Amino acid sequence: MELRPAYQDIITLDPGKRSGKPTIRGMRITVYDVLSYLAAGMSTQEILADFPYLTEEDIRACLSFAAERERRVLLAHA
């Protein structure tokens, strides 16, 4: 049995939405948006207050997606 990454049911890729960038549950907010807010120093609670349609699970999915993407890059260069 293969385990699915934690983000797979949350992060979606739709060529017609946000130029095909990975988005959260098909909405217009991208993984990049969330990661940028976190990198700028916003807390999870601040993001959730600004975007009430997001959940903590959505934010964790963004982090998991980014970690998996980084892992794939490292494996490709190994």
Domains along the chain with CATH numbers: 11-76 (1.10.10.10)
Across the chain, which distance is largest between two alpha carbons, in Å? 41
- The Cα 3–Cα 32 span in angstroms is 25
25 dihedral zone (left: phi>0; alpha: psi -120 to 50; beta): left
pLDDT of residue 26: 92
In terms of pLDDT, which residue wins out, 6 or 69?
69
User: What pLDDT does 71 receive?
Assistant: 83
pLDDT digits (tens, 9 = 90+) for 7-66: 888 999 999 889 999 999 999 999 999 999 999 999 999 999 999 999 999 999 999 999
Q: Please state the φ and ψ torsions of residue 22, each to the nearest 5 degrees.
A: -65, 125
User: One-letter amino acid identity for 72?
Assistant: R
